[in-house]
Structures are given as C-alpha cells and as structure tokens.
Structure 1
Amino acid sequence: MHWSSYLEPLAHGAWVTIQFTVYSILFGTVCSFAFGIGKLSKNWFIRWFSIVYIEIFRGTSLLVQLFWLFFALPIAGDMVGLDLRLPPPVAGVLALSLNLGAYGAEVVRGAIQSVNPSQYEAAKALNFSSSQTVWRVALPQAIPEMMPSFSNLAIAALKDTSLVSLITLTDLTFAAEQLRNFYQDSTSIYTIVLLMYFGMAIVLSVIMRVLEFSVTRWRGVRR
C-alpha cells in the first residue's frame, strides 16, 4: 500500500474542497436571501427576474451550469466582442453559489410566507414600510425556520464540489483520480476519500447545528 503517498495530495485536495464549500455557502446564502426576498417583491421586474433565476438554476443540472460558465460563456463573449473568460476557481465558485442560491431562495421565500399573517397585520398597524416589515418582523421569525433546510443545503454543497474536478481544479476528487491513475489502487484511495468526505460532512453538520442553536436562542432572547 502507498498510504503515506496518498495522504499529502489528498489532504491538499481536501483543503481545496473546504475552500470551495465555504465560498459557495457564503455566496449562495447571499443569493438565497436576495432572490428569495426578491421573489416576494411588489416590483414586477425584481419579482420576475428572481423567478427566472430560480427556475433556470433549479431546473438545469449543476454540471451543465459549470460547463456553460467555463466553456460556453467565453465563446458567447467572443461573439459579441467581450472577454468573458473566467478562471477555473471563479467559474467553480460562481456555479456552485448560483445553484445553491436558487434552492436556498425557495427556502427563504417559504419561511417568510410561513410567518403568521397577524405579524404582518401588526406591522401594517404600526405603519411599517414593506422593507421594514421584512427586515424587522418577517426575517427574525423566519430565519430559525430556515436553518434545518440550510443545513441540508450546506451538506449538498460539500458533495457538489466534486464536480469542479471536471474543469481541472485539484479538489479532493481530482486528487483521488490522479492517484488512482498512477497507482491503480482504486479501493484504498476511494476508501480514504470516502472517510475524508464523511469527516468533513460531520464537522459541517456540527457547525450548522451550533449555528441553528444560536439562532434559535437569539430568537428566544428577542421575545
């Protein structure tokens, strides 16, 4: 066995995977709130732009989105005289974030709409504007309801990072494939990879549960 030879490149790949996971969760969360709230906007342009974004990125494969941003977008840019080439890390993070954001937007939209209607009536009675109602009334109550779904999306984001290996990024999956081709030892290499993904998923789950507990406790304090 070449266990010692496996660990260093796999550890480097795991670090790349962790970075992609963190960036995609952060930017994906921003997209989730922006387009989830946007879908409820009274402004027809913002509402329909949000709907189109959500339906496109939920209704198409992440793999296709990744390939389109990395391979097709530069070709489309050349046709109109623009340089739209994206570095592989940017294309990877962008595809992962936009895909995660589309699913997260529906979580945000559903959680906001699940807030008791009496809360909106109270805000209206207090003469709150629409934006004040969303930020001061709806979101503080909706965010704790979003956390279990966001925890699942975070784990999904971790697993989806394996696709960035297809645009030559040296994540954990790419490193494993290189080692497999060199050593012809699929069983040992992918057993290590399985354990590494599982370990990262456990750590991410714990972080999300701590965050969920903190948000729930914060809501209790506000009450």
Structure 2
Amino acid sequence: MTWTEYLVPLGQGAWVTIQLTFWSTIFGALLSFAAGIGKLSRNPLIKALSIGYIEIFRGTSLLVQLFWLYFALPLLGQAIGIDLRLPPVAAGVLALSLNIGAYGAEVVRGAIQSVSHDQYEAATALNFSDRQALWRVALPQAIPEMMPSFGNLAVQNLKDTALVSLISLQDLAFKAEQIRNFTQDSTTIFTIVLAMYFGMALVLTAMMKVLERSVGRWRTARS
C-alpha cells in the first residue's frame, strides 16, 4: 500500500474521533456546569454528590474509567439482574464526558467564585433570589472567564479519544494500529496520524477561539 491508500481508512477513523470529541465535549460541558454549580450549592446533598463526582473522576485514570464502564459495569448488572451492557460508542462518550466534566466543574466553580462580591451584594439589594443572582449576574460574567480553560479541555478531550481504541471502537488510533499490523509501515502511518490529530486540534482550537470572542462580547456589553 502507498501512503495515499492509507488515507481512506484513516479518514473513516478520524470521522469517528470527531464524533466522539463533539458529543463528549457537549455532554462534558453540561456536566461541568451541573457539578460546578452543585459544588457551590447550599443543599448539602447536592454539594456532596457534586464533590464526590468531581473527586472520583479527577482522582482516577480515564483508562480505568473506560474499562470499568465497558467491562465491569455489565458484570455488575448481571449480579443484580439488570442488563447494563454499553455499546463501545456509548461507553466511550460516557467515559470521556464524565472525565472532562469533572475537570470542567472546577473551572466553572472557580470562575463563579471569582465574580466580585459587590456584584452579589448589588443583586441582594435588587431583591434577587440566589437563582436569579446566579443566572443574571454571576454566570454572564463568569462564562467569558471559563472559555480559555474550556478550550484547553476540549483539545485534551480530542487527544484522550485515542483510548477508546482499546475497547475496539474504530477511531483514528484503532484504524492506524490495524493498518500498521497489516503493513508494518509504522513510520508513514503514525506520521500521517500525528498530522491528522494536529490538524483536528488546530480546527478545534480555532472554533473555541471564535466562541471565546463571541462570549467575550458579554463582558464588553455589561461594562
């Protein structure tokens, strides 16, 4: 095979990687806000659940989390009489989402806490409830501060998708290893794969920069 013939199967794998990155980043962002805000909650149960989730998924390996969801969870389901088997795509997206969500939650928490205390006092003076103060005062100022960190997490998430190849999900890394085993042309294949990951990271970074500039206008509009 010539290097051009590698591009078709690698392109198929790259498309799987793109889908994994997209969905896990979206779901991870939702989990980030849920857990980050939950950690600041006055409700002790919500706060405890948020802290537990954050600490578990930040304190354990993504690879182990992925294996647990794909291999161990079905066995647990068998023990209790429930079918908990996950397709490889679902296990991959779930593991990536839970992992990036735990790291993103600390970004959300820190950004909300960085909002000036005077802003909260002003919200109290206007008779805002805690929920109104969060949604109408804190988050519009905190979200622009989160965006650079979220951009870094999105790129890290893209690179972490390579781990899903270990549960036979045919992403870019899986396709590369398949072709390498067949051709033994490691240098050419992994050079192409490096370039493809780098290209995807550049595109993702550019998209996050556009989103960052768009959200940054909120700060200008409020100043």
TM-score range, shorter-chain basis?
Answer: over 0.9
**Alignment-derived partner of residue 141 in structure 1:** 141
**Alignment-derived partner of residue 124 in structure 1:** 124
Cα deviations across residues 66-98 of structure 1 (Å, max 9, x unaligned)? 000000000011111111011110000000000
Question: What do you get for the CA RMSD once the two structures are aligned?
Answer: 0.8
**Alignment-derived partner of residue 199 in structure 1:** 199
1:217, CA displacement in angstroms? 1.4
**Alignment-derived partner of residue 52 in structure 2:** 52
**Alignment-derived partner of residue 105 in structure 2:** 105
Number of residues of Structure 1 aligned to a counterpart in Structure 2: 223
For 1:18 and 1:92, how far apart are their aligned partners in 2? 13
For structure 1, the 5+ residue unaligned runs are none
Letter of the structure 1 residue corresponding to residue 38 of structure 2: G
1:65, CA displacement in angstroms? 0.2
Aligned positions of 1:1-223 closer than 5 A: 2-223=2-223
1:147, CA displacement in angstroms? 0.4
For 1:60 and 1:40, how far apart are their aligned partners in 2? 23
Cα deviations across residues 162-186 of structure 1 (Å, max 9, x unaligned)? 0000000000000000000000000
Cα deviations across residues 81-126 of structure 1 (Å, max 9, x unaligned)? 1110111100000000000000000000000000000001111111
SS at match of 2:128: coil
For structure 2, the 5+ residue unaligned runs are none
1:221, CA displacement in angstroms? 2.2
For 1:76 and 1:129, how far apart are their aligned partners in 2? 43
Cα deviations across residues 34-58 of structure 1 (Å, max 9, x unaligned)? 0000000000000000000000000
TM-score (norm 1): 0.99
For 1:90 and 1:19, how far apart are their aligned partners in 2? 12
Cα deviations across residues 127-183 of structure 1 (Å, max 9, x unaligned)? 111111111100000000000100000000000000000000000000000000000
| Deviates most, 96-105 or 2-11 | 2-11
Letter of the structure 2 residue corresponding to residue 33 of structure 1: F
For 2:86 and 2:114, how far apart are their aligned partners in 1? 39
For 2:125 and 2:200, how far apart are their aligned partners in 1? 48
Name segments (4+ residues, structure 1) moved above 2 Å: none
SS at match of 1:90: helix
Cα deviations across residues 6-57 of structure 1 (Å, max 9, x unaligned)? 0000000000000000001100000000000000000000000000000000
SS at match of 2:48: helix
1:219, CA displacement in angstroms? 2.7
State, as a whole percentage, how many aligned pairs show the same letter.
71
For 1:45 and 1:2, how far apart are their aligned partners in 2? 59
Letter of the structure 1 residue corresponding to residue 18 of structure 2: I
1:3, CA displacement in angstroms? 1.0
SS at match of 2:11: helix
